[in-house]
Chain A
Amino acid sequence: MDQDIEEHWDLIILPKNRLLDLPLRELWRYRDLMLLFVKRDFTAQYKQTILGPLWHFINPIFTTITYTIIFGNIAQLSTDGTPRLIFYMCGITLWNFYSNTTTSTGSTFTQNAAIFGKVYFPRLIAPLATVISLMIDLSVHIVTLTGFVIYFKSQGYLENMQWINLIYLPPIVLLTAGFGLGTGTIISALTTKYRDLTVFTSLGINLLMFATPVIYPFSSIRGPYRVYLEWNPISPLIECYRFIFTGTGTFSAASLAYSTGMMCLLLFAGLLLFNRVEKTFMDTV
């Protein structure tokens, strides 16, 4: 008589997750938590500062000025004929978004060990919240950047820049976020037990910046190195992003399709690995 009830269980705890078992329903149920994490990151960051969120604007501006002086004025690197300030700001904002996403989602397990060890919620909530926080940061930077673009355009520069191109911005940002989340989750899954990769991550990200057209335009690279640059799936994203704001950039539909494909692959691999380790990482972290 009890048979019907006996067969229905809300939750079955097993030693391992099934390989492709993404807890989408659960993620949706915990969406409030994700938003609260985002809010926490945002408010906690600027508590007890006088300038508060103003720091969001100051940070990229100062980095841009430094880059402009060092790579532009001193090293005299080409900027594809666009104003140096805009050129570097484009590179910095999107690249920082990518590298921050990778490094912070890459330390998901080690950073959240205290909470993860005490309470269950879908672990993916934590890296997703991080990505959203960083997207908010990026959108503030984009607003700053747009301000500069308006100024330079009014001064007669950036003739090729079309405002209509801004509609390409969301897909580019999402692709970059996907890359960051993909690499980050792979790193987080691989570093719970063996920490070696953490050391490598920051080094790798720093070096990768030079293999990506951040401080130089793609067009300035000739000869054998160009092939390597073409293999880098983040290159077209940076170039396209820069094209949106300056009207100059080297990319093609094919290269963007390649980037999209790579992103999907990376993200898929990342989620797969993450799903595997999330159940028992507490024993090894």
Chain B
Amino acid sequence: MSTVIRAKNVSKQYRLGKVGTGTLSHDLNRWWHRIRGKEDPYLKIGETNDRTAKGGSEYVWALRDINFDIGQGTATGIIGRNGAGKSTLLKILSRTTAPTTGSVKIRGRVASLLEVGTGFHPELSGRENTYLNGAILGMTRKEIARKFDEIVDFAGVERYIDTPVKRYSSGMYVRLAFAVAAHLESEILVVDEVLAVGDAEFQKKCLGKMGDVTRNGGRTVIYVSHNMESIRELCTSAILLKNGMLVDSGSAGDIVSTYLKTEAKFSTLYDSNNWLASSLPHLTRQAEIISIRNKAEHEVFKVSDQLPFDITIGGKSEYPGTVSRISLRVTNNMGAHVLTTHTIVSYSLLKGETRVIPMTLMIPELISGEYWCTVWIGEGDLGNYKCDHFSVEEVLHFAVINDQTHRWFPNWGNFNPKILAEDESSNIGRRAWDTTE
């Protein structure tokens, strides 16, 4: 197996904040160093890209000294938390931006799909846009003409092919756009999470098509996704990024579980040292959350497991004190709200009083993935909101491994609850359809 992509010491530096007057002086300084044959003074500074920590420098390294080889015909997944540098790496591989230092050597034609339908013009017909988009992605007119019928067939938009795409439904638009992309003939394909679009039937078709791409075409695929299941499904190997650095690489299955077990693991004790207390103006701050401790001592759970944790709250207001109800919102690692739940009882606290409240979260039938909780305390009950006192975001991290959610698509949602089919008494308790086949 020969190497088709070799990245050597690839780094990318970004300047934070806005481009303004400060930039000009830095540019002049940089230029002054260059004409004297000296090194760029701003390459020496800069910090690793940990977005949660507050840094002093204006420069951050989105990627730092990345080295890897990718063999022909493999499918490599790039994994990491938001801000780990995945997209920056894709941008460099697809040549939409250049690295600050280092080099990437590539053998073969690269096509990148950071988005589907790039360059689609609303006024042009489906046919015209197919040609235009194909050409933007690097196909020649002859190639597109040869594949045209196949593309239209794959997208299922034959009747509308001479209608301007602005009249298309959003589903049709995406189907056509993806169909063009799926018929690219490059040796290397760089794909961002574009599968998060389209209806389920079409996604299945695309996923099949992507599988084809590596298995039969001898083609090399690099794929970024937040969806661990699709990485495990599609990729043969994976690269794990953390704060812009490559921390692990290996087989896709291994790296995904490493990621879920270690990298995704944040802490078992959350307090002001590692959380961001919300600064929303409506918070009264008459009571506060002091710490949250995960008592399970691990963070990977199965459906209906119990996640026990202690939450310590303290009062900050004089007699008669505050009344606090504890609320929990679970978000997935794309930031989408998955569920919200409240305690039924409230706890009253005087100034200076602290209280440790043991709680347990029953893991609901969530799909495999990573989740974060936002915890807040406030007054009132469900139908009778009064005020919020205090809130912390992105604490109490946990990951769910759900064997039933194999081949799950992002737009199917986050839950996979049981559904009962009435006449099949023998099947009660099982899903009416079996996703594992």
Establish whether residues A6 and B99, one from each chain, have CB atoms under 8 Å apart when the complex forms.
no
Establish whether residues B121 and A40, one from each chain, have CB atoms under 8 Å apart when the complex forms.
yes
- Of residues 83 to 117 in B, which have CB atoms within 8 Å of A's CB atoms? 91-110, 112, 114-115
In the complex, which residues of chain B have a beta carbon less than 8 angstroms from the beta carbon of A37? Answer: 132
In the complex, which residues of chain A have a beta carbon less than 8 angstroms from the beta carbon of B123? Answer: 43-44, 47-48
Minimum Cβ distance to chain B for residue A6 (Å): 7
Name the CB-closest residue of A to B91. A282
Minimum Cβ distance to chain B for residue A43 (Å): 6
Establish whether residues A9 and B119, one from each chain, have CB atoms under 8 Å apart when the complex forms.
no
Establish whether residues B118 and A119, one from each chain, have CB atoms under 8 Å apart when the complex forms.
yes
In the complex, which residues of chain B have a beta carbon less than 8 angstroms from the beta carbon of A2? Answer: 2
Cα A12 to Cα B19 in complex, Å, equals 29
Minimum Cβ distance to chain A for residue B230 (Å): 21
CB 8 Å contact bits of A188-199 with B (1 = contact, 0 = none): 000001100000
Contact of A8 with B by CB under 8 A:
yes
Cα A119 to Cα B124 in complex, Å, equals 20
Cα A6 to Cα B5 in complex, Å, equals 11
Name the CB-closest residue of B to A10. B107
Establish whether residues B106 and A40, one from each chain, have CB atoms under 8 Å apart when the complex forms.
no
CB 8 Å contact bits of B1-41 with A (1 = contact, 0 = none): 01100100000001000010001100100000000000000
Q: A-B contact count, CB below 8 Å?
A: 108
Q: Give which listed residue, A13, A16, A194, contacts B95 with CB less than 8 A.
A: A13
Q: Give which listed residue, A33, A43, A115, A283, contacts B128 with CB less than 8 A.
A: A43
Establish whether residues A117 and B102, one from each chain, have CB atoms under 8 Å apart when the complex forms.
no
Contact of A148 with B by CB under 8 A:
no
Interface size class of B (residues with CB under 8 A): 35 or more
- Of residues 65 to 85 in A, which have CB atoms within 8 Å of B's CB atoms? none
Establish whether residues A119 and B136, one from each chain, have CB atoms under 8 Å apart when the complex forms.
yes
CB 8 Å contact bits of A3-21 with B (1 = contact, 0 = none): 0011011111111100000
Chain B residues near A (Cβ < 8 Å): 2-3, 6, 14, 19, 23-24, 27, 91-110, 112, 114-115, 118-119, 121, 123-124, 128, 131-132, 135-138, 140-141, 164
6 residue pairs bridging A and B, Cβ less than 8 Å apart: A11-B107, A15-B101, A15-B102, A43-B128, A118-B112, A119-B114
- If A9-B105, A13-B99, A119-B94 are given as contacts, then 12 extra A-B residue pairs at C-beta distance below 8 Å, sorted by A number, are A6-B3, A14-B99, A15-B98, A30-B135, A40-B128, A40-B132, A48-B123, A115-B118, A115-B119, A117-B96, A118-B115, A119-B136
A-B interface, 6 closest residue pairs, ranked by CB to CB distance from nearest: A120-B95, A279-B98, A33-B135, A13-B104, A9-B105, A47-B123
